[in-house]
Copies of this chain bind each other. A is one copy, B any other.
Amino acid sequence: MADLLKSTVKITRSQETADALISLILSRNMKAGDRLPNEQTLCEALNIGRGTLREAVKQLSSRNILEVHQGSGTYVSDKRGIPSDPLGVTFLKNNKKLALDLIEARLALEPQIAMLAAENATEEDIAHMIELRDLHKEAIYSGGNYQDVDTQFHAYVAQCSGNAIFTNLVPIIASSVQVSTTIVDMEYRKISARCHHLITECIARHDGLGAYNAMLTHLNVSREYFISKED
């Protein structure tokens, strides 16, 4: 019984410490890659023991808020607190139905996102989007790995929407798609590159309806492709 109580108290303290560390990161406006003060400084500042601090750091690492680099220190993670497998895909059977469900989710979200990006993208945003579009096209025509830059392109369009939820949601869904994607043929990849081209053009001329329709067409091509490959 004494042991149980002790363990409960410890959990509460490490939880409080975790909350205090989050407040520290927010109040100091710390960014991804910034290093936390060292153990001794933190223990003294928060008036806690090393065990409690380490428990809190472990918890925040598993939440992708912090990253411990052995021998160097503890850093703010570039995953911005977005956990691995946020959609609980581990417990969905990873089959063609799931790939299609993911495309349907993207079909619901991304045309609207492209429309908002057309409304809100700055000249600088557009210049970077064109770079990503070109990298994607080059990767496809050279037969290289195009999936990472594909995800980056869609994530960047979401970032340009100015909506924080879309910005966090699209990389989550796009990376789940990668996991579930089967090998696609060259013709499909080239169509994909052309779609990215058209989406970028529409956003560049701040044409919301055009961007909406271009994104819808792009994802609907994926949907039809997956349905045609079924069975």
Contacts and interface: CB of A to CB of B under 8 A. Distances in A.
Interface of A: 4, 7, 22, 26, 59, 62-63, 65, 70-71, 80-88, 90-92, 97-98, 101-102, 104-105, 107-109, 112-113, 116, 163-166, 168-169, 172-173, 176
Contacts of A98: 164-165
Contacts of A86: 82-83, 86-87, 172
B83 A168 contact: no
Nearest to A166: B105
A173 B108 CA distance: 14
A83 to B, nearest CB: 4
Nearest to A32: B91
A105 B101 contact: no
Most buried by B among A101, A102, A108, A173: A108
Contacts of A82: 86-88
